[in-house]
Chain A
Amino acid sequence: MMKLDFSGLESASSHFHGVDSELVEGLSRAPSFEIPNTTNFDGFQKEAIQMVKPAKGTTTLAFIFKEGVMVAADSRASMGGYISSQSVKKIIEINPYMLGTMAGGAADCQFWHRNLGIKALKKECEIEYINFLTYPMGEEFIGISHMFRCRLHELANRRRISVTGASKLLANILYSYRGMGLVGTVLPYYVDSEGGRLKGNRFSVGSGSPYAYGVLDSGYHYDMSVEEAAELARRAIYQATFRDGASGGVASVYHVGPNGWKKLSGDDVGELYYKYNPITPRMVEQEMAEAAEP
């Protein structure tokens, strides 16, 4: 039976500071998730998901280079074949030093990133922690339990956890969800729930990731400048949106440096097409001249 880690929800109840405690007693109980009364939990979830079809399908990427970390994502949310939104925020600003990216269930990511921000682990957890998770259910629980364990390590050992350590913690957490196809990154590591843990400079997650990898891998150098890196990230997302139907909208690019993150650009990929494939007037005139000849 899958064990879901709800420890992240506990302290939400302490936020109630109403004078009349009886009034809020019912609500100050730690919010718990009702489980449907069925013998087949997974089957029910599958049916429920089929019915409500949470939005997913995406391209996100991040890479490390000399000047820090570059993070980019598209903004399309699809429900089956229907585009439910072209303006979803997939890069979530947790606090001035932390970005979260999302792939998978939009509601899961939004809810838990909101909680992550409220916990305000702030500057203490400046691991350049960027979390990609790609399964439609439950993955954000992992994100928050991972954050807590990193913080516990800090408190117990009186120094920040190393990136290697953080990635190992995440790999161990993901192992209890093995078989569910979960993926995460704590740069420069990539971890998944099959037990994979890879070290690398660049990762891309989502349905458009193969296309993004093509561009990213061919253009990557460690000693790029910030502008070059931003252009590489933007181009990679653009190419992914061009070929992948589930990705599109606006390509956002963020840079994470020693002083925190900064949003570098947000471009509509439809407009980017004409920037990368300008219409050459000369050819058109030539065609018109040729057509005019009898």
Chain B
Amino acid sequence: MTKHQANWSPYDNNGGSCVAIAGADYCVIAADTRMSTGYNILTRDYSKITKLADKCVMASSGFQADVKALQKLLAARHLIYQHQHNKQMGCPAMAQLLSNTLYYKRFFPYYSFNVLGGLDNEGKGCVYTYDAVGSYERVGYSSQGSGSTLIIPFLDNQLKSPSPLLLPVQDAITPLSESEAVDLVKTVFASATERDIYTGDKLEIVVLNAEGIQREFMDLRKD
């Protein structure tokens, strides 16, 4: 029996990078807006960031069709939660929901590299980082996507926080202020754009704090 070779792959990689940084009372989530396939740019104006709940925002890079499907599923589950519990879902709860949702497609994964950012139940910033099949971890900062290997070492250098596994326990929150964190994110993306072909065009920055959600944009190199 001859082996049946696949002549079509269900996956594609649309590129892009995302970053999230957690602070004492804020969270910064950012992603570029370029969507590509192979060497072609499909659009320069595609948002990879979506609001899942009042205090919870997700940025995803990878295959945007899978990302879109994932976002729809999470939005539907959140709506059901609101009907059942008469309140918005908190960020840690949404984090676990995302992990389970990803794992239920363990044998046909969502090609989606996610970073979840928001405020936890005490109002402190929290960032959760995922792999494509749902393993997750609460961290002080994270980056996913094509530029992540360029971004993460720089964030490690600037923000390195003590591991949550150390005994005695040390806090993982960044000592930076909100404006410093936003500046850091802009710097990081400007550098990543220089060396990663899939990152560029425009940067979308979302800041979550006690006042709510603010969004700003910054231009990046378009080449």
Contacts and interface: CB of A to CB of B under 8 A. Distances in A.
A57 interface: no
B149 interface: yes
21 contacts: A20-B83, A23-B80, A24-B80, A33-B107, A34-B108, A35-B107, A36-B10, A52-B109, A75-B165, A77-B135, A82-B149, A88-B137, A105-B135, A107-B106, A107-B131, A111-B100, A111-B106, A111-B134, A249-B163, A249-B165, A267-B167
Interface string A11-34: 000000010100110010001011
A268 interface: yes
Interface string B151-166: 0000000000001111
A108 B164 CA distance: 21
A140 B143 CA distance: 28
B163 A87 contact: yes
A262 to B, nearest CB: 11
Interface in B102-120: 102-109, 111
Contacts of A52: 109, 111, 131-133
Chain B, interface SS category: loop
Interface residues of B, number: 35
Task: Name the residue among B111, B129, B132, B163 with the largest chain A CB count within 10 angstroms.
Answer: B163
Contacts of A267: 166-167
B6 interface: yes
A33 B11 contact: no
A38 B135 contact: no
A55 interface: yes
Interface in B76-125: 80, 83-84, 96, 99-100, 102-109, 111
Nearest to A12: B100
A259 interface: no
B139 interface: yes
Contacts of A263: 167
Given A252-B165, A266-B166, A267-B166, A33 B136 contact: no
A151 interface: no
Given A33-B107, A75-B163, A107-B102, A51 B11 contact: yes
A151 B40 CA distance: 56
A250 interface: yes
Interface residues on A, range: 35 or more
Interface of A: 18, 20, 23-24, 27, 31, 33-36, 38-40, 43-45, 48, 51-52, 54-55, 75, 77, 79, 82, 84-89, 105-111, 114, 137, 249-250, 252, 263-268
Contacts of B96: 114
Nearest to A84: B131
Contacts of A23: 80, 83
B159 to A, nearest CB: 13
Given A23-B80, A111-B100, 14 more contacts: A36-B108, A51-B111, A52-B111, A52-B133, A54-B132, A55-B131, A87-B164, A88-B137, A107-B135, A109-B135, A110-B99, A110-B136, A250-B166, A265-B167
A75 B65 CA distance: 33
A14 B99 CA distance: 20
B166 A268 contact: yes
B107 A55 contact: no
Task: Name the residue among A35, A54, A77, A268 with the largest chain B CB count within 10 angstroms.
Answer: A54
Contact of B133 (A40, A54, A268): A54
Contacts of B108: 34-36, 48
Give the top 8 A-B pairs by smallest Cβ distance, nearest first.
Answer: A106-B135, A107-B135, A52-B132, A266-B167, A107-B133, A250-B165, A87-B163, A36-B108
A3 B163 CA distance: 39
Contacts of B3: 40, 43
A263 B105 CA distance: 34
Contact of A250 (B109, B129, B132, B163): B163
Nearest to A74: B165
A108 B129 CA distance: 16
A39 B133 contact: no
B165 A54 contact: no
A52 B139 CA distance: 21
A207 to B, nearest CB: 18
A216 B105 CA distance: 39
